[in-house]
Copies of this chain bind each other. A is one copy, B any other.
Amino acid sequence: MTKVKGLVCRECGKEYPVEPIHVCEFCFGPLEVVYDYQEIKKKLSKEKIENGPKSLWRYIDLLPVEYPSVGLNAGFTPLKKAENLGRLLGLENLYIKDDSVNHPTLSFKDRVVSVALSKAKEFGFDTVACASTGNLANSVAAHAAQAGFNCFVFIPANLESQKIFGSLVFKPTVVAVEGNYDDVNRLCSEIANELNWAFVNINIRPFYAEGSKTLAFEVVEQLGWRAPDAVVAPAASGSLITKIWKGLKELYMVGLLDSLKTRVYGAQAEGCSPIAQAWKEGRDFVKPVKPNTIAKSIAIGNPADGIYALQVTKESSGIWETATDEEIIEGIKLLAETEGIFTETAGGTTIAVLKKLAEKGYFSPKEIVVAYITGNGYKTMEVLEGHLPESIRIKPTLADFKEKILVKTL
């Protein structure tokens, strides 16, 4: 695989071959995929990408996979010009990158899982696994089904039963672990050390995480090969933001972007904002917190890539901002009412933070600003309980309709 040089430790720089490993054996730093950009640059062009498949696999030259075999329809989601929301926020060029319709399980996790499981095939694994309570579990279970892997999904035992239907329907083995999410994660790391299984966000994490770069690639292509001036993205582990930045850098390095000018803004829920707190206190390290927010899909108290996400905002001249649970609900409603897109709490966080940043003057009116919507609201409708208007009740007659509806609403 000439495009990939190998893995390298982000901390000490030690090099490793392409193997299903994720931690440096010397300093315990995380491993990262390193590419031969000189080699890639020779072969890659806008035309080649534009003639590729209508999925994230059009960017295979910048992904650590030789033969895409899983998730062939993932990615290449719409980039929607948000005229109405933009008008409200004083932004003439606001766009929504909309992964709420990602194939097949309606979140950006379909990107990372497609890359992870294609790589798992290449490595020869027959069993894949993950710890998750939501979107990741859905996506791993769905892709494992289509690709013919054995699949194990680990969840905290106290999770509501209907929540896991969206994973169970794909027939993985669901293991309910008596403990909290941290207990589940720790157990998974132990299992990954003992068994020859591909845990997507443990032992094959370096490959898995690369899938998020396509969120940068697609936006640049969909803008007509221009980089946005600013992007706003939610942060859980911090990996997404790190990879969006890596993606932009790569396009610059292979000559598909003229400059590297995008400011990257991070959004966290106030009830779980360890990275944003570090930013606000000027720390370059992240203190773990105990999550307490409705934004479950981004509630990681001890974010693995937090310090790298912090570095991205510094390097790109962005900042971090948070949203309260109430603001998150308002963010969900604002996007729905203005742009007709129904996102989940992570997306609500992004929109709430976008609004705050716009109001505080972080964007100039003509700048190209992109907000990343990473998941779909139809999966977690219960968060809206008590936050929506009531319907108006009438008898099935024209007279009652005129009296109760026409008079009052028009």
Contacts and interface: CB of A to CB of B under 8 A. Distances in A.
Contact of A333 (B142, B162, B169): B169
A142 to B, nearest CB: 4
Contacts of A45: none
Contacts of A176: 391-394
A43 interface: no
B148 A84 contact: yes
Contacts of A174: 389, 391-392
Given A176-B394, A179-B396, A342-B104, A377 B169 contact: yes
Contacts of A171: 333, 336-337, 389
Nearest to A70: B340
Give the interface residue-count category, chain A: 35 or more
A336 B384 CA distance: 28
B73 A177 contact: no
Contacts of A379: 378
A170 B102 CA distance: 20
Given A84-B148, A396-B177, A397-B187, A381 B165 contact: yes
A304 interface: no
Contacts of A242: none
Contacts of A46: none
Given A73-B98, A142-B340, A178-B394, 5 more contacts: A106-B378, A162-B381, A169-B333, A169-B377, A190-B398
- Top 9 A-B pairs ranked by shortest CB distance? A146-B340, A174-B391, A142-B340, A73-B78, A179-B396, A183-B396, A176-B391, A145-B340, A168-B388
Interface of A: 54, 72-73, 76, 78, 80, 84, 98, 100-106, 141-148, 150, 152, 155, 157, 162, 164-166, 168-171, 173-179, 183-184, 186-187, 190-191, 194-195, 332-333, 336-342, 376-379, 381-382, 384-385, 388-389, 391-398, 401, 405-406, 409-410
